[in-house]
Amino acid sequence: MTGQESAAGGSEHAAASVVFRDVTKRYRGAEADAVEHLSLDVPAGEICVLVGPSGCGKTTAMRMVNRTVEITSGDIEVGGTSVTERSPAQLRREIGYVIQQIGLFPHRTIAQNIATVPALIGWDRERTRARVRELLELISLPADVADRYPAQLSGGQQQRVGVARALAADPPVMLMDEPFGAIDPINRERLQNEFLRLQAEIRKTILFVTHDIDEAIKMGDRIAVLREGGRLAQFATPAELLMDPADDFVEDFVGADRALKRLALMRVSDIDLWEAPLAFAGQDTAEVRAKLAGAEVPWALLVDSDRRPIGWLSDRDLAAATVPHRPDSSPDPVLDRDDVLRDALSDLLQSQTHYAPVVDASGAAVGVLSLDVISDFLASDQAKVEEHPATARPHD
Ligand SMILES: Nc1ncnc2c1ncn2[C@@H]1O[C@H](COP(=O)(O)OP(=O)(O)OP(=O)(O)O)[C@@H](O)[C@H]1O
Ligand SMILES: [Mg+2]
């Protein structure tokens, strides 16, 4: 087949890129620019987070995309054409917008709220009703909330309805201004995770505003850090931002614990693991003792015939002539190669041992993670950032 296939997942509108070209905004009567010479290139299907202190121009930058704020100079292109070539009314229909503070219409039902844009563009009742049903399912709300009013929903549920409303006409671009700002931390994390799952399905181009750097790192494919006057301090991926902040402002904003934050972005499989001598039940312990001399990990790991960890061998285990079937200590915690490194670290810290076997999808041991491996990694990372050599010791 050589023809173009239609987009999967019922999404009829492909995502569009958003490009800021040297965009400046000065509000009438203001003495300074709210946004100054901002250039950004957001590829289709990515989440670009705008982050920075209050008043730095995040909302202004976002609102120029759908022309709820007019550009003073420069240009913004959505899907390759200038927003100035479309009317503000048209743009507001084409671009989903989740405003700061949710902004559901209080005297309209949830279904009517979600159907705002479909009603504007004249969808018939059946199509609209089907879309509302589909969106409620997408945001994991029961169908019976459709006839309730916003005040009859929790804050988190209202927030999800706000997202559904912005998605209703399947726009190629979404603007989300502090969409989870008003939610308590626990529900906020749930909504963030839910939204990332949703985005993996719908692949919209999203401009996402927050003043919370942790949220930015979690949600963004790319992050634009803005400073006073809407000036761009750095535009980079989360990892680049954490590893290599462009200046003192970004470094302060990203925070001192960025090495730890970086661990949240990495998987166990991203770092060089150590090797432990492997032992099999019934094997001559003399062989195992010989392998232990000079090994990276000073303990032998008993594995089954599929290399699945059974436990660590103690000195007493190794004093016998042959390796026992059931060793003194369990292998726990056993980590997965796909585990997030920060979670792996907390598992290690909570357990008694310094070493944890790492297994692949089949459960077979592929290496060992230890606190030392992680601190070596952090030290070398620090070395990159601060330009002094690491002095990590492999054994304590
Ligand atoms: N309609 C307006 N008229 C005049 N000045 C405005 C207007 N809206 C915003 N400003 C000013 O422009 C600057 C940027 O405001 P903006 O709302 O874009 O900031 P923000 O980064 O979104 O802040 P916050 O994090 O508090 O939401 C501020 O100095 C603000 O006072
Ligand atoms: Mg704002």
For residue 119, what are its two tokens?
Answer: 């009603």
Q: Which residue has the tokens 């330009």?
A: 387
* Annotation: CATH topology of 18-255: Rossmann fold (3.40.50)
Q: Between 3.10.20.740, 3.10.580.10, 1.10.645.10, 3.40.50.2300, what CATH number should domain 270-376 receive?
A: 3.10.580.10
What lies within 8 Å, CB to CB, of 380 at 6+ separation is: 390, 392
Out of 50, 60, 231, give the residue to mutate to test ligand 1, the one with the largest number of ligand atoms within 8 Å of its CB. 60
Instruction: Note whether 18-255 and 270-376 share their fold.
Output: no
The answer to whether the CB of 210 is under 6 A from ligand 1 is: no
To the nearest 10°, report the CA torsion of 46, 158, 53, 96. 40
Q: Which sign does the torsion angle of CA 91, 42, 224, 138 carry?
A: positive
pLDDT at 332 over 80: yes
Contacts of 174 (CB under 8 A, 6+ apart): 95, 96, 97, 98, 166, 167, 204, 205, 206, 207
Q: Distance between CA 221 and CA 384 in Å, rounded?
A: 23
- Under the banding of pLDDT at 50, 70 and 90, the label for residue 100 is low
Determine whether 337 is exposed, middle or buried from the number of CB atoms within 10 Å of its CB (0-12, 13-18, 19+).
Answer: middle
pLDDT band at 173 (very low <50, low <70, confident <90, very high): very high
Mean pLDDT of 157-162: 86
Residue predicted with more confidence, 103 or 131: 131
Assign 379 a pLDDT band (cuts: 50, 70, 90): low
Q: In whole angstroms, give the CA distance from residue 353 to residue 373.
A: 14
Atom of ligand 1 lying closest to residue 62 CA: 18
CB of 51 within 6 A of ligand 1: the answer is no
The residue contributing the CA closest to ligand 1 atom 25 is 54
pLDDT at residue 331 in the model: 92
Give the number of the atom of ligand 1 that is nearest the alpha carbon of residue 50.
21
pLDDT in tens, 119-149: 877 889 999 999 999 899 888 889 999 999 9
The ligand 1 atom at the shortest distance from the C-alpha of residue 209 is 22
Q: Where are the domains of the chain?
A: 18-255, 270-376
Indicate if the pLDDT at residue 383 is higher than 60: no
